[in-house]
Structure 1
């Protein structure tokens, strides 16, 4: 049996239509010339799909970083933060205690010897340049972060 939807026509009349819609009607619906409504003419709203919440993404105020939850935040907030910041799979993050989640660093630890991200603190860049043997710690501290990045690029 075909599913029936209701469409508000251009003249304001509610019309019952079976799916799939004729091509010309579907095109007019896609262009916004017709609108899907409930049988009484009220605006149609579909039920949102029930899925796991997506990890939050930071705003422009936080430069895209997800802010660390406060100490009194619930475990769910800590799970979302760990998923977004540390790229932990949901099952792993949910399997950790709140205390374990709180012990995670502000940013994920780079792999040993890995090049730091461009938004990493200057200290990480100094350590990276020194590990590579490009210069001493004292010399590296005299450079700006931008200079250190340019040096290894």
Structure 2
């Protein structure tokens, strides 16, 4: 089914796994890109058999190689320079600091930071005197902050 695609038009298509999706003709889904994917059978119109399934053969790939083949004019490998010790006054990346609930915690019932949100909901609801429904409406990070 040949159909004229216009910029700004929203079209419903079917992906290679059969899922329906909506795209707007324009950037990044240009008319040419959509038509190429329809022709290759990667996408199809709802209710139609993909073009590649009708043809039986996939379209050959046309991408260029990202690196030249051995023996061609290949680029020289990049060399990294080591930094001098004189660069020591410049601050570098700082080690990551994490707060982890350990065995020395005040409350032995407090869940660990890596515990699922459901455990934090129960804990915060109990310690902050709120319903579980109210506690569940917060993010896990918010629940951890409330428990401090």
Higher helix share: 1
Q: Of the two, which has the highest radius of gyration?
A: 2
TM-score (norm 1): 0.26
TM-score (norm 2): 0.27
